[in-house]
Structure 1
Amino acid sequence: MTKRAYNFNAGPAALPLEVLQQAQEQFVEFGGAGMSIMEMSHRSSIYENVNNETQSLLRELFGIPDHYKTLFLQGGASTQFGMIPMNLLSEGKTAAFVQTGNWSNKAIKEAKLIGKTAIVATSEENKYTRIPDLSELKLPEETAYLHITSNETIEGIQYSEYPNTGDIPLVGDMSSDILSRPVDVSKFGLIYAGAQKNLGPSGVTLVIIREDLAANSPKTLSSMLRYDTHVNNNSLYNTPPSFSVYMVNLMLKWIASKGGVSAIEQYNRDKTNLIYDAIDSSGGFYRGAADAASRSVMNITFRIHTEELEKQFIKESEAAGFVGLKGHRDVGGLRASTYNAVPLESCKALAAFMSDFQQRNG
């Protein structure tokens, strides 16, 4: 095999080499069935065991309480932007949002199509460079739920702590930092995440939902759009993205082998600190795009003082084996995504490249 790239893609993103190699070994035949897991019925006992084991691993690693259900759905987080208000935003209620960037804006846009919405806090005036102060958060009367985006991949900002909403359900889009750090799931009514950043390949979306919220799914909705449909059928109502769920299974076992979510959190901080240190010690050659207090441990956004140098940085980094360092087209600049599976060695290599690039162009 040729040398693997230094993969800093924002998603689909890096997967551990060990996981890829195990999947390769089991690709043609899985579980002694004489066929790949992609070829077998999702009603088979072999696949049902994978489905159940993956849920159990999630519960153990993420500390999911017994009165929550874990679902493996399709359509990505983008489908959840509409499915959540369809299920939770009833007549006369308001969906409240904290507006922190591109992905929260997309969630707001979709919810407006379903019912009444309110932006209760925003950092738009700061160009989404920080998480807004939520210490004196006031929610409208008859609030159905408060929605937050725990980590904004494009702007590179992340919540350090979550708001306490009392009896009002807190809904969290954790697509880009799920299982990257411990979370008190009991603070949330619903958590959702696309798998393609920290949990596995694209194709499956994780939903963690409190049982009482799922049970109240409106019976007027199409069956596929109701959470209770998937709860009552153990995520097997229709054909699931079976290979993606299997890959999530392997990824969860990999996280467990590394010491669990707390150990992964420290590993992620060690990786991220290497790159933030390269930015902060550059004397202004590099500039972090996010406010220091809101910096993401998953997506490091930064700039160089001229666009010409940024273009040169991208060109030279690609030639050196780095992938995915170009900032999102909406904001420009540079971005390194350091999700769970990005190796420490890749971050060390990037920090060294940044130092060398500065010495040659500073």
Structure 2
Amino acid sequence: MRGFDYQRAHDVSGALALLDADPEARFLGGGTNLVDLMKAGVERPVRLVDVRELPLAQVELPQGGGLRIGATVTNSDLAAHPEVRRRYPALAQAVLAGASGQLRNMATVGGNLLQRTRCAYFTDVTKACNKRIPGSGCPAIEGEHRNHAILGASGHCVAVHPSDMGVALTAFDAVVSYQTADGPGELPFSDFYVPVGDSPHRETALPPGALITGVTLPPAPVAAHSRYRKVRERASYAFAIGSIAAALDVHDGVVGDVRLAFGAVASRPWRAREAERLLTGAPADAESFAAAADAELAAAKPLPHNAYKVDLIRNLVVAVLTELTEEAVR
């Protein structure tokens, strides 16, 4: 691993000033992804600016509802917070599914949003990768792609985003707050991750030098009746091969409100808006759930070895929405 300088910031303005003085510097939260990439030679910052001591480690309850989550809140503290578990249970479940206890104790909310793909071609500097070296190619398309994207991919990259937390935040219309030297800004989660297109190396819409300061979840009564389900290749800690964050409101057997987002199927958490549209006002039954899933997955373009994900996600939609419906009528 290449040598680097290390500095600890104690306030937001100080952190931004340190990064502004050295464009090759990187902010460091828990380091659970960045440090691994530095060891592999994928990331080569000349300086790390430690932001863990910034005053951004609170989960706040805005007066009008929802939640405001500071960027340096650890994953463990987020999952254990009673109001997160009560108001957005799928978010707590997603965080608990996302890593081992040791990693959750270190990882931060802001860092989780910026974690990078675990595609083996990306993390191996001896291989070509458009995400790592633009224009070098995407060997996964013809090579090992069993766990890669079926939605929203391109001929330049078929890697998937690894975050579990991000799937739940996508379902609940989270908004990312950030700060730059020019002042504060916000990005709705729907715009935070950039479609892969022909520039897979550009992953978020954050402006240069931006520091994530928090995430806001707007009030969403339906979110109190939600669930996150993750499928992985082994029962112990592993990245998803498919996942779903779902919330459902049912009255008299009819869907009143529904939220759906998928994980491990695209370069960013995938909001299933077509499925939501078809389900709103439809009967809350397996037939409607399957039809909505099929409509959403009609855009899927699987590769030879990952077509199983289409059936996997379809089955997850039906199973999780059926469970939420049964709970609602008890």
TM-score, normalising length from structure 2? 0.29
Bigger fraction of residues in helix? 1
Q: Which of structures 1 and 2 has the bigger CA Rg? A: 1
Structure with the greater relative contact order (CA < 8 A, sep ≥ 6): 1 or 2?
1
TM-score, normalising length from structure 1? 0.27
